[in-house]
Amino acid sequence: MERRTYVCKRARMCSYLVDKGFMPYKIKPDCDNPKYNVYLFTATPELYRAVIVPFATIVWAYRHGLIPDNVKAEKAILAAHKYFTTMELEVDHLTENKSNNCLYALALVHGNTNTSLGDRRNSIKEPFFFYTAYRHDVSKLLVKCGFDQDNQHYERRFFFDLTRKGEEEYRKCFNEFKKKAEAAGYLTKEPEKDNLLSYWADPCRPGAENNPLAKLPTEPLPSFYKYSNGAFNDMPEI
């Protein structure tokens, strides 16, 4: 009988499961990000019951009809989490604020995208900004990035599909923009807590009329374009 596997990509979760009496049968480098390990556990009903399901996963599953009213919620939540884990998918907090579980701030991405970006989106310092939101009706990541300082305003908008290729392009877009911000002196190696992304990602501000993150999914789709290498070559110096 083929062994079913639960893939754990978080050392903290691994420690939690070990404390609960479960041991990984194998530890290996992540094929998408070899700097990190993944922990392979034998998938059993007992293990899935022990797993802490992130609240963001529950929000995503509920809003996408994976927790129907006629099914016991706990069973449906565990089934959704099991499916995501098997497919190596994770619900990414696009704002890097785990307290912000607004639907526009969550996207179901492959684990390597979530791991590779980490808190780096919070390294962009004001007046530079890099906002990402998910538009669920068209299943696209929307990005608005640029800078706004004094009389200078520069902005670019892009859309990305939630596929491995689309996510790779999304990471390339962020990395290219990050280099521009770094060259201008607006990048920190430590996660910046007072930058524009952190400010607007505060759960107390989603309803603010001028919140660019909350407004992003309402912007006309034709105002967003496909990303291509060199998309920021026309960025002026500030």
User: 149, 171 in Cβ contact below 8 A?
Assistant: no
Q: So where are the chain's domains?
A: 1-52, 93-223
The predicted model scores a pTM of 0.80
Q: In the predicted model, is pLDDT for residue 2 greater than 70?
A: no
pLDDT confidence of residue 110: 87
Share of the chain above pLDDT 70, in %: 97
State the burial class of residue 111 (Cβ atoms within 10 Å of its Cβ: 0-12, 13-18, 19+): buried
Query: Residue range 133-150: average pLDDT?
Result: 94
How many angstroms separate the CA atoms of 134 and 85, rounded? Answer: 21
- Tell me the pLDDT tens digit for each residue of 14-70: 888 898 899 999 999 987 778 888 899 998 878 877 777 889 999 999 988 888 877
Q: Which long-range contacts (CB under 8 A, 24 or more apart) does 158-165 make?
A: 158/224, 158/225, 158/226, 158/227, 158/231, 159/221, 159/224, 159/225, 159/226, 160/227, 162/107, 162/108, 162/109, 162/134, 164/110
